[in-house]
Each structure stands twice: as structure tokens, then as C-alpha cells.
Amino acid sequence: MSSSKVLPSSSKLQLHGNIWLAADIHLGPYSPKTAQAFYHFLLKARREADALILCGDIFHAWVGADLALDPPNWLAQAIHHFRQASQDIPIFFMRGNRDFLLDARFAHFVGAQLLADQIILKTDQHQLVLTHGDELCTDDLTYQRFRKRVRNPTIQKLFLKLPLRWRLAIAGGLRQRSKNQQQHIESYITDVNEHSCIQLLEQQAESLLVHGHTHRPALHRLTRAQGPDLSRIVLPDWELDQTQPTRGGWLVLAQSGQIELHRLHHATLRLTLKPSV
């Protein structure tokens, strides 16, 4: 069982007001309905949020910042909407398992800031650990080996030197393999390992973990042999093109201390957690 890495002390972000979080939008050429729903969400965030954090898998695949030099139509739309939103509120990107090649150059290009893969987020009422979540799926040893390889800077540098059309073809092949897995495996994403979640929180002396990746939005209590229970909130994924019922949602960390989990076709879940700051 692999353990979570300790966060460097610099991986901290302090924000004030109403902070919105979303993840797993999977923007790409094959999800126009999902994209439009997400862009409506961006408009809402511009009116109601004080900051927006997108916690990984913003894109279905990301093969390098040079894709934005002559962007396909779906990416041109995304760039436009991110730039518009960033004029009104701060936007932060995290990398996920599908867009781990996102870099600070592209984030800056659309008016966003790129965060570390794990951060301590401090708001007016709460302090928590925020991550995409795939590194916590430690029961999936095959994936963790793959993750370690593709996060290797040398391998990434070699991949990014390939012609863009080659990189797009590789990403297309991975997409088809992922699609085949979804057709044959009911639950193709391994859930996080609770011990790894507890270990991460204990390392950081925090009581709340927020992540995406697993597509299983919920509030979980993490029970320890010693000490009070900890909490884990899973962000919803977005899917309005391929499945029914459609999915989407976000988390609000309100300035008042209220935590709200919003999901399409579900009543808003209002969570009562003891303020941690």
C-alpha cells in the first residue's frame, strides 16, 4: 500500500469570500453538451463566487500547450470562456490524471493560475487538503505504476518533443481504450483507499479532504482507531453527452462557514462541519 506524499509548506492557498470548486469536466471535441453546461456554470460563478478552483481533469486529454497555438473549435471556445471568467474572478487550475501535462504557461494564457497537485486551502471558515484524488487510489497498483511513469519529468519532456499529430493520435488511442473499459467494467475507476486519505490528513494535521476523480460525489466520515473522525468530500463529475441521467455539480465553501454540494437532478446538500480555522 503506497502512502501519500507530504505537502511542501509552500503548497498553500488562502482565499476569502465564497469559494467554488469543481472537477472532472473533461472538455474535449466529443462533449459539446457538457461544455455548454459548464460554460453556463462559469457565468453563474462569475456572478456569485469570489474565486473558482478547478481540481483536475478540466480537459479530457491534454497533449501540450502548443495545442492552443492553432486551437480546434472546442478548445477555442474553452479559451474564450476562461478568459472572460478570469476578468471577474480569480480562477485556479489543478492537474488531473487526464490533463497532467497542463502547465503554468497555458494557465496564464487563459488568465488562470496553476496550483500544485496537492494544496492546503484556507478560507474564511475552513482549512482543508485539496487534490484531484487519483494518487489516493492506492489499491490500483497498475494505475499507480502508470502514474509514476507519466509524471516523470524526463518522460514528459520526451513526449512533448513528439510532433503534435503523434501526441494527438496517442491521446486518441488512450481515449478509445478508456471507452472500451467503460463498456465492460461497471465501475472502471478504482475508489480511493481510506487509509491513504487518513494518512494524508494526519500528515497535514487537517480534518477535511476534498477531491474529485472517482465520480462518486458524497460526504464520507473517516473513522480512526484513535482521535476524532475526519471528513472527505468528493466533487461531482460532468457528463451530459453520453449517459443518462446527466451529471454535473460543484462545491461551495461559503464565507458564512456553510458547505454546499450542488448536483444536477439532486437537492443541494448542505453540510455542517465544525470550522477548522
C-beta separation of 219 from 231 below 8 A: yes
> For 12-271, CATH number?
3.60.21.10
Q: What is the pLDDT of residues 147-203, one digit of tens each?
A: 999 999 999 999 989 988 888 888 776 655 555 444 443 445 789 999 999 999 999
Go through the chain and tell me how many residues it has: 277
What's the rounded Cα separation, in Å, for the pair 3 and 247?
31
Can you list the positions of beta strands (E) in the chain? 12-14, 19-22, 51-55, 91-94, 113-114, 118-122, 127-131, 208-211, 218-222, 230-234, 249-253, 259-263, 269-271
pLDDT tens per residue, range 80-114: 999 999 999 999 999 999 999 999 999 999 999 99
User: Taking residues 210-229, what's their average pLDDT?
Assistant: 93
In angstroms, rounded to a whole number, what is the distance separating the alpha carbons of residues 4 and 85? 33
pLDDT of 182 reads 46
Query: How many C-beta atoms lie closer than 10 Å to residue 257's C-beta?
Result: 16
CA angle 21, 241, 85 (to 5 degrees): 35
This model's pTM is above 0.95: no
Q: How far apart are CA 264 and CA 147, in angstroms?
A: 31
Q: Which of 1, 123, 106 is nearest to 53 (CA)?
A: 123
**pLDDT (tens digit per residue) in 51-71:** 999 999 999 999 988 999 999
Higher pLDDT, 249 or 225: 249
Average pLDDT taken over every residue of the chain: 90
Per-residue DSSP letter, 115? P
**Ranges of each domain in the chain:** 12-271
How confident is the model over 26-59, as pLDDT tens digits? 999 999 999 999 999 999 999 999 999 999 999 9
Q: How far is CA 102 from CA 12, 51, 67, 199, 273, in A?
A: 19, 20, 11, 27, 33
Do 88 and 50 form a contact (C-beta atoms < 8 A)?
Answer: no
CA neighbor of 159 nearest in space, from 75, 106, 95, 101: 101
Q: Which amino acid is at 73?
A: N
Cell (9 digits) for 273: 462541519
**Rounded to whole angstroms, how far apart are CA atoms 70 and 77?**
12
For residue 87, give every residue at least 6 positions away whose Cβ sits within 8 Å of its Cβ, in sequence order, or none.
Answer: 111
SS3 of the chain: helix, strand, coil, percent, to 5: 35, 20, 45
- pLDDT for res 181: 47
